[in-house]
Amino acid sequence: MKKTTIYSLSKELGVSPATVSKALNNSPELNPDTAARIRAQAEERGFRPRPMLSRVSNICALIQTPNAQISCFSPYTVDIMQGMMDYLQSHEIEFSLFSEEIKKLNSGLLLRQLGRRGIKGAALINTNEDSAFYEEFERSSFPYCSLMTDDGKPSRNLLTIDNVDVAFRAVEYLTGIGHQKIAVLVTPAHGLTGTQRLEGYRKAMKAAEIEPDENWIVRSYIDEEELDFGYASVLTLFRAHPELTALFVMGDYVAIGALRAFHHLGLSVPGDVSIIACDDAPETAYLNPPLTVMRIPNRKLGYTAARWIHRQIKEGISKSQPPYEPWMRGELVLRDSTAKPGK
């Protein structure tokens, strides 16, 4: 009797050898009915494929955007991707960028799209409570890591830092040098990071025995560009509340927009108002004035995310405890955008 091979099966079934191989190795790329038909024929012929080598070919940064007009690139995402590439290149693993608006990510076809690109695992970036594709990943035990944000449900392989602490220490510094009227721009308002940092702001104000006016808290819309949000929000906020002496923002681009608005309003930084931001893109040290920040170790987080995903793939698991290392917290970097009020 002639030996059954992938090639003989493909000829019997009228499909390519590659399609047979994908079906027998449970690729998410194939139509389920086609895959089932191929596996049934292989079972009938008593054919067992040789196990595939557990080589990781590709891990991607999967960046969610609210709509097609919003860029996936920001100082935060660029730093994360650079960190991922640091790890992946040292282990000869390919890196991919997969960016799409949320409604397409939630279509139910995401794993098939990733499969076509040979992607074996993903770092999920800028997700939120509306990210329904987590369920697709969970059903297929697809290796992934959520960075800083997830869909708000438990056990989502979340790699993050203490964002409450980040905001607390930023605002604590401002109150410590004499500021009491401190506003905050919340980004992303629709997600874990913004929610936690707002909590840290409130805790620091309470610790300083300051009751913030709720009008000092401005939240971004989900589809709002950070530069536009920083600029427009500061124009409105500081015209309505000239008593404010300091501002805490949650991203570099928001801060750049805010600085432009202060210039438009004729307010000097830090003479009339102090500003402190999160992250720390390279250009923030060269702004006018150089920006005081809570430096977030985004590049290291990207490296650690890639390493964690790689380990999941090598060990054949999709759930494990997130890594924790001492550097996973913000660092206050003082520059020229903050000073005592009235200085």
Per-residue tokens: 153: 């449900």
Residue 140: CA count within 13 A, CB half-sphere: 22
| Contact residues for 65 (Cβ-Cβ < 8 A; gap 6+) | 71, 72, 99, 100, 101, 102, 126
pLDDT of residue 175: 98
Residue 337: CA count within 13 A, CB half-sphere: 27
Strand partners, 279: 295
pLDDT at 260 over 90: yes
Q: What is the mean pLDDT of residues 201-223?
A: 93
Higher pLDDT, 207 or 343: 207
What is the DSSP secondary-structure string of 278-305?
A: EE--GGGGGSSSPPEEEE--HHHHHHHH
Per-residue pLDDT reduced to its tens digit, 123-152: 999 999 999 999 999 888 899 999 999 998
Higher pLDDT, 342 or 126: 126
**Do the beta carbons of residue 255 and residue 269 sit within 8 Å?**
no
**Do the beta carbons of residue 185 and residue 252 sit within 8 Å?**
no
- Tokens 């989502």 correspond to 156
pLDDT of residue 53: 47
- pTM of the entire predicted model: 0.80
Provide the 10 A C-beta neighbour count for residue 323. 14
Please report, for the chain, the start and end positions of each structural domain, with discontinuous segments joined by +: 6-38, 58-161+300-315, 163-296
| Contact residues for 157 (Cβ-Cβ < 8 A; gap 6+) | 144, 145, 146, 308, 318, 319, 320, 322
Helix (H, G, I), strand (E, B) or coil at 307: helix
Q: What is the mean pLDDT of residues 17-38?
A: 77
Cis (ω within 30 of 0) for the bond into 188? yes
Superfamily of domain 163-296: Response regulator (3.40.50.2300)
- CA-closest candidate to residue 223, choices 261, 189, 193: 189
pLDDT at 163 over 70: yes
pLDDT at 321 over 90: no
Out of 20-34, 37-51, 69-83, 201-215, the most confident range is 201-215
pLDDT band (50, 70, 90) for residue 222: low
**Average pLDDT across the chain, whole number:** 90
Question: In Å, how far are 99, 124, 144, 298, 312 from 81, measured between CA atoms?
Answer: 12, 11, 15, 9, 19
Give the C-alpha separation, 99 to 145, whole Å: 16
- In degrees and rounded to multiples of 5, residue 99 shows phi and psi of -125, 135
CATH class of 58-161+300-315: alpha beta
Per-residue pLDDT reduced to its tens digit, 49-108: 665 444 567 999 999 998 888 888 888 999 999 999 999 999 999 999 999 999 999 999
Per-residue tokens: 305: 């995310």
**Do the beta carbons of residue 254 and residue 277 sit within 8 Å?**
yes
Q: Using CB atoms within 10 Å of the CB of residue 195, give its burial: 0 to 12 exposed, 13 to 18 middle, 19+ buried.
A: middle
pLDDT at 34 over 50: yes
What is the DSSP secondary-structure string of 194-248?
A: HHHHHHHHHHHHHHTT----GGGEEE--TT--HHHHHHHHHHHHHHH-TT--EEE
Confirm whether 58-161+300-315 and 163-296 share one CATH topology: yes
pLDDT band (50, 70, 90) for residue 305: very high
pLDDT of residue 54: 47
Percent of the chain with pLDDT over 70: 95
Q: What is the mean pLDDT of residues 210-218?
A: 96
pLDDT at 263 over 90: yes
For the chain, count helices (H), then strands (E): 12, 11
Per-residue tokens: 263: 């210039």
